[in-house]
Structure 1
């Protein structure tokens, strides 16, 4: 398996359509919008036998800390084709993405997700570290953060998602 930067010819939208089932079209549209709205987005793909089988994106958001706004990253979405799940694809994408975010000087990476899965990479509940979630619809346990090398203790406050996540209603859980 190769982990590399997404290329224009990679069909990551199809990965998310399949990986996210009923929400797949929304997630695929979100990916396109994030790419358009954040030219500095970090988008990585996992390739096996010449086929893209996974994708992860790290995009810019803000932390509203008391002294000033801080540029942070949000890991979202992470998608792996069903036939390739539970084989280390997601793990490899996350690990490489965190390395690159750290190399870029990013202090914090946030996400919404399963704590049992993401805690393996050092993600911790954001509330326990003094961070406030951007929406009450996000379950406390799902709001997670991973401090990187550039993190400093004064960097606390409220995560402010980029407008793109709000535009696509991809923040927290909606009642169905």
Structure 2
């Protein structure tokens, strides 16, 4: 397996990864990735691809968010989405992508990484419920346990407050869980 930054020619392969990995929600996630891609610069955000035998089989994206802290706005990062094609799952590809991304972000002096996800999966990387550190989730539709944070070496204790997602997450309605019966 080879991990690398996403290249311009990867867009179609990355879209296919998300369509296959997320099933019925794949279109929303793939559209979100297509929009978020434009927000990534060489110093802000990160998009990583995992290749196996020359074929893209996994992808993770880290994009800019803001923490509305009492002292000032703090630039933070949001890990979303992470996907591995179904036939390559359970091979630690997703874990390798997350670990590589966190290492790169720590080197860039990013103070915090946030995500919405399964605590049983993301706790292996050191993520903990965001509320335990005084962070507030950006939507009430995010289950408390799913709202998670990880402090990197640039974190300072005064950095607390409400996470603010970048606009594409709202435009694609990719924040929290919708109640289909509502």
TM-score, normalised to structure 2's length?
Answer: 0.95
Residue correspondence of structure 1 range 20-99 to structure 2 within 5 A: 20-39=22-41, 40-99=44-103
| RMSD between superposed Cα atoms in Å | 0.7
Residue correspondence of structure 1 range 1-176 to structure 2 within 5 A: 1-10=1-10, 11-39=13-41, 40-176=44-180
Runs of 4+ aligned structure 1 residues displaced above 4 Å come to none
TM-score, normalised to structure 1's length?
Answer: 0.98
Q: Is the 8 A contact 1:35 1:41 kept in 2?
A: no
Corresponding residue pairs, total: 176
Give 1:8 deviation, angstroms. Answer: 1.2
Give 1:66 deviation, angstroms. Answer: 0.3
Give 1:31 deviation, angstroms. Answer: 0.3
Q: Secondary structure in 1 aligned to 2:174?
A: coil
Q: Secondary structure in 2 aligned to 1:20?
A: helix
Q: Distance in 1 between matches of 2:164 and 2:53?
A: 39
Give 1:36 deviation, angstroms. Answer: 1.5
Give 1:9 deviation, angstroms. Answer: 1.4
Give 1:121 deviation, angstroms. Answer: 0.1
Could you list the runs of 5+ residues in structure 1 that have no partner in the other structure?
none
